[in-house]
């Protein structure tokens, strides 16, 4: 797991090479909506990409992590099916539904049934490297989301320089990122972690939560500002010192959201002294998101190490899949 996290910057560079070489069909369109179907480590790339391009996307982009698609998906829809293994049953079910409704389907996968289906039906597809836990391959699946959105005219901006710059910066700043991750790990060890950010960074919070779940074997939760100010903030009346708050922040966060964060911190401090700001670094918005993702991944690894648990082990998920396979 250490090596896989360590290789994240290099994976970003390799993902750009894969995306540039991808052979996708004529865009056609225009498309009325984009739906990304995927779960866990395969689906989070869609959520991050959708938030990253929200201010320029020519149509709505929604992520569905289920067996079905919304009723509006049809001939004017672009559906991005993302399953790292190619065998995720929920994603395959949604993919079949998209095809039945006449949607344009693009597959992002390393193989399995999804790749076989894409090839047999002549669907657009991008093949990414296989053989590793899906959550460790985010650089590949996330980057391909941008290539697909650009190819099909959903976005126009050139995202490649931002990813390339982020890869170089993360590699150059490796020691500082690891040091910051170790410091945060020491602060949250032994506590239940609550993760917050402005709404535009919520997908990165989800990624951190998922990494703590799988790598660190930790229960935790996340919420976004300003929404949590209208509900969860009241729930802090039940907070205590067993909780540690991690707030992912950007200097470019909305000024009113930053005011809210400072007021929120005063509320949290009434119940726990463990409240920590984590500020992003990078040359552009996407680079700053990637910085937080990489730092969070390192925290999940160091926390697993500190707890003495195997960050690669996901026996309970494999058990669930085995039980489901028994049911015809």
CA–CA separation, 300 and 184 (whole Å): 10
Active site residue 251: no
Count the residues in the chain.
Answer: 328
Q: How many CA atoms lie within 13 A of 231 on its CB side?
A: 5
- CA–CA dist 88, 83 (Å, integer): 6
List the catalytic residue out of 230, 251, 270, 323.
230
Of 38, 36, 11, the residue nearest 137 (C-alpha): 11
- Has 321 been annotated as catalytic? yes
Cβ(158)–Cβ(20) below 8 Å: no
- Choosing from 202, 214, 223, 250, the catalytic residue is 214
Cα-trace Rg, the chain: 20
| Cα 63 to Cα 318: distance, rounded to the nearest angstrom | 24
Residue 13 annotated to the active site: no
Residue 210: C-alpha distances to residues 95, 136, 175, 279 (Å): 24, 12, 24, 20
Residue positions annotated with a catalytic role:
214, 230, 321
């Amino acid at each position: 797991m250490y090596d896989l996290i360590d290789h994240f910057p290099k994976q970003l560079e390799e993902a750009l090479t894969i995306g540039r070489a991808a052979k996708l069909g004529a865009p056609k369109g225009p498309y009325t909506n984009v739906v990304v179907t995927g779960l866990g480590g395969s689906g989070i790339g869609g959520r991050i990409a959708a938030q990253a391009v929200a201010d320029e996307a020519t149509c709505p982009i929604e992520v569905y992590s289920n067996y079905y698609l919304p009723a509006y998906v049809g001939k004017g829809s672009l559906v991005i099916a993302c399953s790292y293994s190619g065998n995720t049953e929920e994603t395959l079910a949604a993919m079949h539904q998209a095809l039945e409704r006449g949607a344009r389907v693009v597959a992002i996968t390393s193989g399995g049934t999804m790749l076989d289906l894409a090839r047999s039906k002549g669907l657009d597809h991008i093949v990414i490297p296989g053989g590793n836990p899906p959550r460790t391959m985010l650089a590949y699946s996330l980057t391909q989301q941008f290539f697909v959105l650009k190819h099909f005219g959903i976005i126009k901006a050139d995202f490649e320089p931002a990813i390339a710059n982020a890869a170089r910066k993360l590699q150059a700043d490796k020691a500082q990122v690891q040091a910051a991750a170790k410091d945060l790990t020491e602060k949250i060890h032994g506590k239940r972690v609550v993760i917050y950010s402005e709404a535009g960074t919520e997908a990165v919070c989800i990624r951190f939560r998922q990494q703590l779940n799988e790598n660190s074997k930790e229960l935790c939760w996340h919420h976004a500002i300003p929404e949590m100010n209208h509900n969860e903030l009241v729930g802090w009346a039940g907070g205590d010192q067993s909780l540690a708050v991690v707030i992912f922040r950007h200097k470019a966060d909305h000024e009113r959201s930053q005011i809210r964060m400072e007021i929120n911190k005063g509320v949290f401090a009434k119940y726990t002294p463990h409240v920590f700001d984590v500020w992003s670094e990078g040359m552009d918005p996407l680079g700053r998101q990637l910085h937080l993702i990489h730092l969070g991944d390192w925290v999940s690894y160091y926390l697993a190490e500190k707890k003495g648990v195997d960050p690669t082990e996901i026996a309970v998920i494999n058990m669930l899949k085995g039980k489901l396979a028994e049911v015809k």
